[in-house]
Amino acid sequence: MIDKFLELHTLSKSEYLELLQYWENEEVVKRLRTEAVSLRKQYYGDKVFTRGLIEFTNYCKNNCYYCGIRNGNRHVDRYRLTEDEILECCQTGYELGYHTFVLQGGEDPYYHDERMEHIIRAVKNQFPDCALTLSLGEKSYESYRRFREAGADRYLLRHETADETLYRSLHPSSMSLKARKQCLFDLKELGYQVGAGFMVGAPGQTLEHLAEDLVFLQELQPQMIGIGPFVPHHDTIYAEEKAGSVELTLFLLSVIRIMFPKVLLPATTALGTMDPRGREKGLAAGANVVMPNLSPVKNRKLYELYDNKICTGEEAAECRGCLGRRVASAGYRLVEDRGDALV
Q: Which long-range contacts (CB under 8 A, 24 or more apart) does 3-12 make?
A: 5/258, 6/31, 6/32, 6/35, 6/258, 9/258, 9/259, 9/260, 9/261, 10/218, 10/259, 11/214, 12/215
User: What mean pLDDT is reported for the chain?
Assistant: 93
pLDDT digits (tens, 9 = 90+) for 176-218: 999 999 999 999 999 999 999 999 999 999 999 999 999 999 9
pLDDT digits (tens, 9 = 90+) for 76-94: 999 999 999 999 999 999 9
CB 295 within 8 A of CB 89: yes
Reply yes or no on whether the pLDDT at 303 is more than 90: no
Element (H, E) at 122: helix 113-126
pLDDT digits (tens, 9 = 90+) for 37-65: 999 999 999 999 999 999 999 999 999 99
Residue 187 φ/ψ region, left for φ over 0, alpha for ψ in the -120 to 50 degree band, beta for the rest: alpha
DSSP β-ladder status, 289-290 and 193-200 = unpaired
More confident site: 297 or 14:
14
pTM for the model stands at 0.95
Mean pLDDT of 236-245: 95
Reply yes or no on whether the pLDDT at 293 is more than 90: no
pLDDT digits (tens, 9 = 90+) for 26-40: 999 999 999 999 999
Mean pLDDT of 284-292: 95
CB 272 within 8 A of CB 310: yes
Q: What pLDDT, on the 0 to 100 scale, is given for residue 315?
A: 46
Reply yes or no on whether the pLDDT at 156 is more than 70: yes
> Where does the pLDDT of residue 295 fall: very low under 50, low under 70, confident under 90, or very high at 90 and above?
confident
Q: What pLDDT, on the 0 to 100 scale, is given for residue 306?
A: 47
More confident site: 4 or 310:
4
pLDDT digits (tens, 9 = 90+) for 242-280: 999 999 999 999 999 999 999 999 998 889 889 989 999
